[in-house]
């Protein structure tokens, strides 16, 4: 397949530098990006993208099918940015830094703003016997329902218009979209307890409602005051998952 026009690179007449500043190998005709080689004649990288920490599909974003192609340049959108080193995650950050002034991934930018009117409350915790997974259900409630260290009026029914999304960071990586609400207005989190689970030991999570980051009510202290957190950390390295707030 012929590469898109904006993705074709022409070699300079006197040296091996090309328009993106990358070096072209005279023998193969491929362009060296650092992480891997790019073939401008085919409009694709010659090897799949990879990450320092092994992942099935590095830098994949399930809400964007183009990210599942590990050979594509700039998600098959060469006009959408540049790729400085051959890693998709960095090309997102570099482009967003130039255009939006933020060296963040698309997913990090998606959590702009803070919703101070909604708090997520753990309304249900259940462990499946067969899989060993702990299912945690978070329900959005009005922040005004938390007064004097207590949840006022019980747990109200969730607003079906609330769109709840979980964002997760694995091993200190960028926050990525983990999942959306299975039931309108309710967020569901599946936590694998104990060693050998499907998730890495250290996972940081935060939630957004209607595109804005919200706090989570994770419990009450000895004085009965609510413990609110913008982010929670799950350590799955032990026999059971341990949750701490950040």
**Sequence ranges of the domains in the chain:** 5-109, 114-245
pLDDT value at 25 more than 90: no
Q: pTM surpassing 0.85? A: no
Mean pLDDT value across residues 163-188: 82
pLDDT value at 244 more than 70: yes
Using pLDDT thresholds of 50, 70 and 90, give the confidence band for residue 168: confident
Using pLDDT thresholds of 50, 70 and 90, give the confidence band for residue 187: very high
Fold exhibited by the domain 114-245: Immunoglobulin-like (2.60.40)
Looking at the chain, how many residues does it have? Answer: 246
pLDDT of residue 137: 92
Mean pLDDT value across residues 81-104: 68
pLDDT of residue 162: 92
Q: What mean pLDDT, rounded, does the chain reach?
A: 76
Mean pLDDT value across residues 101-127: 79
- Cα 231 vs. chain centroid, distance in angstroms? 14
């Amino acid at each position: 397949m012929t590469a898109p026009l904006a993705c074709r690179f022409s070699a300079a007449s006197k040296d091996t530098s090309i328009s993106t500043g990358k070096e072209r190998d005279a023998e193969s005709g491929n362009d060296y990006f650092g992480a891997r080689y790019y073939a401008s004649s085919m409009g694709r990288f010659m090897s799949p993208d990879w990450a320092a920490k092994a992942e099935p599909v590095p830098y994949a974003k399930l809400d964007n099918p183009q990210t599942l192609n590990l050979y594509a340049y700039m998600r098959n959108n060469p006009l959408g940015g540049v790729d400085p080193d051959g890693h998709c995650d960095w090309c997102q950050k570099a482009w967003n830094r130039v255009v939006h002034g933020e060296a963040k991934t698309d997913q990090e930018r998606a959590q702009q703003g803070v919703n101070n009117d909604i708090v997520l409350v753990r309304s249900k915790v259940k462990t499946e016997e067969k899989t060993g997974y702990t299912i945690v259900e978070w329900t959005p409630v009005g922040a005004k329902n938390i007064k004097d260290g207590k949840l006022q009026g019980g747990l109200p029914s969730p607003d079906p218009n609330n769109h709840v999304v979980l964002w997760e960071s694995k091993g200190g990586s960028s926050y990525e979209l983990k999942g959306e609400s299975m039931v309108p207005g309710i967020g569901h989190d599946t936590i694998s307890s104990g060693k050998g689970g499907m998730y890495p030991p250290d996972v940081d999570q935060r939630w957004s409602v209607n595109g804005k980051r919200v706090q989570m009510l994770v419990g009450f202290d000895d004085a009965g005051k609510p413990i609110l957190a913008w982010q929670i950390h799950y350590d799955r390295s032990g026999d059971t998952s341990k949750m701490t707030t950040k």
